[in-house]
Amino acid sequence: MAVIRVNIRRKPIKYEIRIGEGILPGQDFARFGKRFVTIVDSSLENHPNTIALMHRLEKEQKLANLPIYLPGGESLKTPEQATELGRFLAREKIGKMDHRLIVVGGGSLGDLVGYVASFYDRSLGFIYVATTLLAMLDAAIGGKNAVNIPEGKNLFGRIHQPLLVVNDVSWLKTLPGYHISNGLAEAAKMGVTLDEGLFDLVTGPHSLNSEFYMTVIERSGRLKVPIVEVDELDSGPRNIFNYGHTVGPPIEAATDYKVHHGPADSVGMAVEGYLAAKLGFFPWEALMRQNSGLAALGLPVRLRDVYNGTAERLIDFMLVDKKTRDGKPYFVHPVAIGKVYRRGSQVAFPVEIPVIHECLTDLLAQ
């Protein structure tokens, strides 16, 4: 088992990210409390890992546990659902001094539960058992939690760090293929911005086995954690993880989340890479290498393959996102695979709306 230790310097908060195969049943949950509410993706209710987790909590460690089963997916991430979950906890007399939450699911369920944990009873501790590759690479690391509103994705959100993250790659054996592609898109993004070797590992020939998953998850985590530790609130260096995300989430929101996170961010990387090339930062051959690598993972790279609306509609969604300041969306500009343009600690830079509009219009016509 690999362990990445997180030390958030601003607070301070410390926790571990544990990575391995078959590690979930051996976790010592009792050290975090005696009473738990375990919120599980309903599609995983009868999964062997879920059954093993319940046995560990209730039989082996003899902990009080209330299981709840909710559907996953972006449709779950609403203020109404957050309120309903919070009210359920209140009706069950759940309190921060006595209880901890465990979320068992992917990024959407993790977002919802982490968001509720951040405000319920003025902050409730939670453990994240990630069950998708994307959650293991991204959502479970760094404490970002949010729900969506009609005006945009993740606009109601809080940063609330977990007590523990358990990334047991045995979940991935039964994960549908598109979920694997979603996760590999995130790993490819980490490669483009920070680690050329990781990009080559993910986009080159590989076998989808436990060893590959553990390597990618650990390597990505060791890139992300030191940056989160010094910039928890996403005000500087952490902006580097927004590559592909200035355009990606607006695509999701503009399509009413019919386009999933991985394909949206893959196209977001292609669009933002194109913009960086037009502005003279990203060599065209590097852009082609990036897009070829994404396509090799079965991910889309053409804007019109996932979005058939107008440039104006996408820009409208960009303008309400946290990556916009003073009316200008901020973009990360890669300068090579594995490296981005920097000015001191700044890694994201404003781009004028007419320039963005021209870029989107060009790509929608291709």
Question: Could you give phi then psi for residue 22, rounded to 5 degrees?
Answer: 75, 25
| Confidence band for 10, pLDDT divided at 50, 70 and 90 | confident
Task: Please report, rounded to a whole number, the percentage of residues in the chain having pLDDT higher than 90.
Answer: 95
| CB contact at 8 A, 135 and 220 | no
Residue 178 reports pLDDT greater than 90:
no
Residue 292 reports pLDDT greater than 90:
yes
| CB contact at 8 A, 111 and 49 | no
| Confidence band for 99, pLDDT divided at 50, 70 and 90 | very high
- The ranges of the chain annotated as CATH 1.20.1090.10 are 186-364
Output the pLDDT for position 237. 96
**137/304 Cα distance (integer angstroms):** 27
Q: Which two tokens stand for residue 305?
A: 């393959």
| CB contact at 8 A, 243 and 193 | yes
Q: Per-residue pLDDT averaged across 80-108, rounded?
A: 96
Q: Per-residue pLDDT averaged across 255-266, rounded?
A: 94
| Confidence band for 12, pLDDT divided at 50, 70 and 90 | confident
Residue 208 reports pLDDT greater than 90:
yes
Residue 322 reports pLDDT greater than 90:
no
The CATH number given to 186-364 is 1.20.1090.10
Q: Per-residue pLDDT averaged across 103-110, rounded?
A: 97
**97/3 Cα distance (integer angstroms):** 28
Helix (H, G, I), strand (E, B) or coil at 31: helix
Residues in the chain: 366
For 332, counting Cβ atoms within 10 Å of its Cβ (0-12 exposed, 13-18 middle, 19+ buried), the class is buried
Q: Per-residue pLDDT averaged across 78-104, rounded?
A: 96
Q: Per-residue pLDDT averaged across 311-327, rounded?
A: 94
| CB contact at 8 A, 152 and 197 | no
Residue 240 reports pLDDT greater than 90:
yes
- The ranges of the chain annotated as CATH 3.40.50.1970 are 2-174
The CATH number given to 2-174 is 3.40.50.1970
